[in-house]
Amino acid sequence: MLNNPFCYTPSPSIVDAARALTKHIDETPELRALFAEGKMLGVLEVEDSTFLYAFSGLAGGKAYVEGFVPPIFDWKPEDIVSSSAEESRRLQDWLFEQYVVVNGRGEQRSIRQIFADRGLVPPGGTGDCAAPKLLQYALSHGLRPIAIGEFWYGASPAREVRRAGAFYPACTGKCGPLLGYMLQGVDVEPNPLESDTHWHLSDPVVRYEDTALIVAEKPAGMLAVPGRPVEGVPPRHSLQDWLTGYCGGPVLACHRLDMDTSGLMVFAKTPEVQAALQQQFEKREVSKAYLARVMAGDKALKAGDRGKITLPLAPDWYDRPRQMVDPEQGKTAVTDYEVLEVRDDGSSFVRLIPYTGRTHQLRVHCAHPSGLGRPIIGDRLYGGSPADRLMLHAARLSFRHPADGRRLTFESDFR
């Protein structure tokens, strides 16, 4: 069964093939020059232990490189020259009508039609990523896919967080609808992010409760609040749902934690208490601290090191929920850090204190070269090494009780 390209741990065979490809590029001057800018590469294992290779976009301006599968449709930028927005739109429609892909049932459809079926318009570059190139070649040649992985080669770009040799899931904006069609008829694992199957480490723990509010520890892998309904996908169970059952009545969210992050959260039992707590969060009167275990890296760290990370963050619109560093459109994100312990393997435990609340702020601040340059272990989106969970935990939460003004402080550790 093929691993799900949107959430996976690469198989040993894919890891070995990626290392062999990296070594081949490093030892071949012509290839090294083509990929010098940094590139997402893909490996697909098919039956009979055969491996196919692909690169995203162009390599040194080339669509065809010996040893890699061809593009789904070959075109040149000069083919899409227009004098008006309307003409540009028509040319894009024509282009994506030429990208015809096959799925596991032997059916064919253009990228424009696949996106139109969902009421969407394909973003620029759709169909040029490594994963769809690999699947198109395999399925159109009658080869059964067994395992797939996409990894980064070369230096990290300035805006995105990409670590050389790290594997990344397929993007959601460009590849989500496209791979969803191509994988129809393929025996592929379900996406664990669309079920509660990977919430298995622990149950929520209630730390405090009174008539106004409740404080609990969320396990990693559990949604904090109910997610948006997705057609054909069963609803995920959230901490808010769990606490509603526990309390025998509705609870109201006052803040958020990433699904992959564990730790302390407070929920209100009335709209008035919710509004009062949310105001404290907005005014930054709530004290928060996180614990994280980060990978070894090039930057030397020692116990006691402290510092401040300030980077402007913005959504990667074509690969939600990933964030990127964007000096022009990004919003300032500020985090203090302190190194608590450095282990023999080079990994470190750090305390992180955010002063802003941007999406994935701590994850990007740890992983980006202008931050710690050390992804959090288990961070599948930003190049962290594989682990059973994201090693990020909301370890301290302190706020004023809306009823009487007394300060409530809670602390916890990794469970």
pLDDT digits (tens, 9 = 90+) for 288-344: 999 999 999 888 899 999 999 999 999 998 888 899 999 999 999 999 999 999 999
- pLDDT score at 51: 98
- Residue 399 pLDDT > 60: yes
Of the residues 258, 260, 316, 379, only one is catalytic, namely 258
- Residue 222 pLDDT > 70: yes
- pLDDT score at 171: 92
Q: Is the pTM of this model over 0.85?
A: yes
In angstroms, the CA 83 to CA 137 distance is 35
pLDDT tens for residues 56-66? 999 999 999 99
- Residue 77 pLDDT > 60: no
First to last CA, the chain: 33
Selected from 3.40.50.2000, 2.30.22.10, 3.40.50.2020, 3.30.2350.10, the CATH number assigned to the domain covering 205-411 reads 3.30.2350.10
Residue 258 known to be catalytic? yes
| Number of other residues whose CB lies within 10 A of the CB of residue 231 | 5
- pLDDT score at 318: 83
In angstroms, the CA 131 to CA 114 distance is 16
Sequence-distant (≥ 6) Cβ neighbours of residue 316 within 8 angstroms: 160, 322, 323, 324
Q: Is 136 in contact with 72 (CB distance < 8 Å)?
A: yes
Q: Provide the token pair at 107.
A: 């059916």
Say what the alpha-carbon torsion angle 115, 120, 121, 124 is, to the nearest 10 degrees.
-80
| Number of other residues whose CB lies within 10 A of the CB of residue 271 | 9
Q: Provide the token pair at 200.
A: 């298995």
Q: Provide the token pair at 325.
A: 């560093």
- Residue 197 pLDDT > 70: no
Say what the alpha-carbon torsion angle 250, 255, 258, 260 is, to the nearest 10 degrees.
-60
Q: What residue segments make up the domains of the chain, in order of their start?
A: 12-189, 205-411
Confidence of residue 82 (pLDDT cuts 50, 70, 90): low
pLDDT tens for residues 137-190? 999 999 999 999 999 999 888 888 899 999 999 998 899 999 999 999 999 999
Query: Average of pLDDT values for 238-251?
Result: 95
Paired strand residues for 306 = 338
pLDDT tens for residues 344-370? 999 999 999 999 999 999 999 999 999
Phi, psi of 89 (to 5 degrees): -65, -45
Query: Average of pLDDT values for 261-289?
Result: 96
Order of strands, sheet of 167-168, starting from the edge strand that comes earlier in the sequence: 50-55, 39-46, 145-153, 167-168
